[in-house]
């Protein structure tokens, strides 16, 4: 009998209208389901994109999406259950069955619509965050480019250093670390670092590559400097060895021609020069050994130590040479240094007198004292063996003190 009723339903105009209405309701429900499913997939994809760029900003939205996703899945389940329960492709249903199907289809539409609305609100909140993150992503490209260029420059510097014969193992290891950090970004997106982390990593790679290039260049330059420096230092050693003989002659002259007080502070100068030259030779040998081993970090330090020893030897030679010259000059013309000192004091006196209000009492006392010292200075040359060095040192001290007074007065006048 039910089959007969269904067959009559096919001929019953009311059943036909009810079926058409149910089909329309099913189409509306299908459209609502499609809208919800599209919104669910869209929000999921956009949220995944934001999470990759800015995990912190995405965290609150991920929690909201979890709830919205669960509600959407539940709504989808209700829709599928309704569709499975009402076969509208069967034209032999009764009017009542079609009406029940229509009501069920209409009933699921609001459920789907609410889930879609929730997802759309989430999409609206997500949009500005993702837009800002994507805009910031544009800043990552030049940072990556800068990092790649810095790595290329570092590679060239390391290769050049290796070609120069230096041991590049240390900088090579640092280069591989930096290169690996950049490869993580370029081969795996943001490498799970997020946008901020990726930008920070790119900057770190560029900075590290810059240091590597600088270290490699410095080492390569150290090779050239050390090789050139070795030749220069060897020449200086030969020259200083020659000066040592002249220093011995000069010390002999000092002992013969001048009182002990004139040269006693220079005693042992030739011997000290010899010791400094010996130490310089040891440092040169150390430099050569390090260079032969490709240790271009130790070699420059050893070479610098050799230069320091040579400088000490040369300084001792210069002191002896200068002392002999000065003593010869003052012995030949004791009045010369005296007149120079007197001129300096008089110049200071003229400046002090020209100051507004005349010379300041403090300056006048100092200058008067210098005049008195000038008068006493010739007394240092009395006796069979004059102390020319004490005489010259006193006059130089007077000149220096007068120049100090001049400087103070000029500062006062300048306000």
Per the model's pLDDT, the better-predicted residue between 213 and 262 turns out to be 262
Give me the number of domains the chain comprises. 4
Q: Looking at residue 53, what is its pLDDT? A: 67
Could you tell me the CA-to-CA distances from 179 to 75, 150, 195, 204, 369 in Å, in that order?
Answer: 50, 10, 19, 11, 73
Residues 215, 238, single domain; the answer is no
The terminus-to-terminus CA distance of the chain in angstroms comes to 126
| 191 pLDDT higher than 60 | no
Picking from 173-177, 190-194, 201-205, 227-231, which range would have the lowest pLDDT averaged per residue?
190-194
Stretch 285-309: mean pLDDT, rounded? 88
Residues 11, 112, single domain; the answer is yes
Residues 151, 270, single domain; the answer is no
Residues 132, 157, single domain; the answer is no
For residues 317 and 376, the answer to whether their CB atoms sit within 8 Å is no
Q: Which of 295, 328, 361 is the last residue of a domain?
A: 328
Q: Looking at residue 9, what is its pLDDT? A: 45
Residues 47, 171, single domain; the answer is no
Average pLDDT, the chain: 83
| 312 pLDDT higher than 70 | yes
Residues 132, 159, single domain; the answer is no
Residues 116, 220, single domain; the answer is no
Q: Looking at residue 192, what is its pLDDT? A: 57
Q: Which residues does 45 contact at the CB level (< 8 Å), separation at least 6?
A: none
Stretch 300-315: mean pLDDT, rounded? 93
Under DSSP, the state recorded for 54 is -
Q: Which residues does 301 contact at the CB level (< 8 Å), separation at least 6?
A: none
Stretch 329-344: mean pLDDT, rounded? 95
Of 161, 252, 279, which Cα lies nearest the Cα of 212?
A: 161
**How many CB atoms within 10 Å of residue 8?**
13
| 384 pLDDT higher than 90 | no
pTM of the model: 0.53
Q: Looking at residue 187, what is its pLDDT? A: 42
Per the model's pLDDT, the better-predicted residue between 320 and 143 turns out to be 320
Q: Which domain holds residue 289?
A: 228-328
Residues 15, 119, single domain; the answer is yes
Q: Looking at residue 133, what is its pLDDT? A: 66
Residues 359, 310, single domain; the answer is no
Q: Which of 118, 137, 156 is the last residue of a domain?
A: 137
| CA gap 248, 251 in Å, rounded | 5
Q: Which residues does 222 contact at the CB level (< 8 Å), separation at least 6?
A: 166, 296, 297, 299, 300
357 φ/ψ sector (left φ>0, alpha ψ -120 to 50, else beta): left
Q: Which of 226, 254, 280 is the last residue of a domain?
A: 226
Per the model's pLDDT, the better-predicted residue between 167 and 8 turns out to be 167
Q: Looking at residue 188, what is its pLDDT? A: 44
Residues 352, 396, single domain; the answer is yes
Residues 268, 205, single domain; the answer is no
Q: Looking at residue 129, what is its pLDDT? A: 77
| 141 pLDDT higher than 50 | yes
Residues 103, 63, single domain; the answer is yes
Look-up of token digits 């997106």: 189
């Amino acid at each position: 009998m039910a089959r007969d009723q269904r067959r009559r339903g096919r001929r019953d105009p009311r059943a036909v209208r009810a079926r058409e209405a149910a089909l329309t309701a099913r189409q509306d429900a299908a459209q609502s389901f499609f809208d919800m499913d599209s919104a669910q997939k869209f929000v999921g994809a956009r949220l995944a994109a934001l999470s990759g760029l800015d995990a912190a900003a995405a965290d609150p939205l991920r929690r909201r999406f979890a709830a919205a996703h669960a509600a959407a899945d539940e709504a989808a389940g209700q829709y599928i259950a309704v569709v499975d329960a009402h076969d509208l492709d069967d034209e032999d249903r009764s009017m009542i069955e079609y009406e029940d199907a229509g009501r069920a289809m209409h009933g699921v539409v609001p459920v789907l619509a609410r889930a879609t609305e929730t997802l759309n609100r989430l999409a609206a909140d997500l949009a500005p965050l993702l837009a800002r993150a994507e805009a910031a992503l544009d800043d990552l490209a030049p940072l990556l480019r800068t990092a790649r260029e810095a790595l290329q420059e570092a590679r060239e510097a390391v290769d050049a250093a290796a070609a120069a014969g230096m041991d590049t193992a240390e900088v090579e290891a640092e280069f591989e670390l930096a290169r690996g950090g950049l490869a993580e970004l370029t081969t795996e997106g943001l490498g799970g670092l997020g946008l901020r982390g990726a930008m920070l990593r790119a900057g770190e790679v560029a900075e590290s590559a810059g240091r590597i290039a600088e270290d490699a260049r410095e080492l390569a330059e150290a090779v050239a400097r050390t090789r050139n420096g070795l030749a220069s230092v060897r020449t200086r050693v030969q020259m200083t060895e020659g000066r040592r003989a002249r220093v011995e002659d000069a010390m002999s002259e000092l002992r013969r021609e001048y009182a002990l007080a004139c040269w006693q502070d220079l005693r042992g100068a030739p011997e000290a020069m010899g010791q400094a030259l010996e130490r310089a030779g040891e440092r040169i040998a150390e430099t050569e050994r390090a260079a032969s081993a490709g240790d271009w970090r130790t070699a420059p330090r050893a070479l610098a130590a050799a230069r320091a020893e040579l400088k000490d030897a040369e300084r001792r030679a210069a002191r002896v040479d200068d002392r002999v010259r000065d003593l010869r000059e003052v012995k030949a013309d004791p009045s010369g240094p005296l007149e120079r000192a007197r001129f300096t004091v008089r110049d200071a006196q003229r400046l002090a007198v020209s100051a507004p209000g005349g010379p300041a009492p403090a300056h006048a006392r100092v200058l008067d004292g210098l005049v008195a010292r000038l008068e006493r200075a010739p007394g240092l040359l009395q006796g069979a063996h004059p102390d020319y060095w004490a005489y010259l040192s006193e006059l130089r001290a007077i000149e220096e003190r007068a120049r100090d007074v001049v400087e103070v007065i000029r500062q006062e006048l300048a306000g």
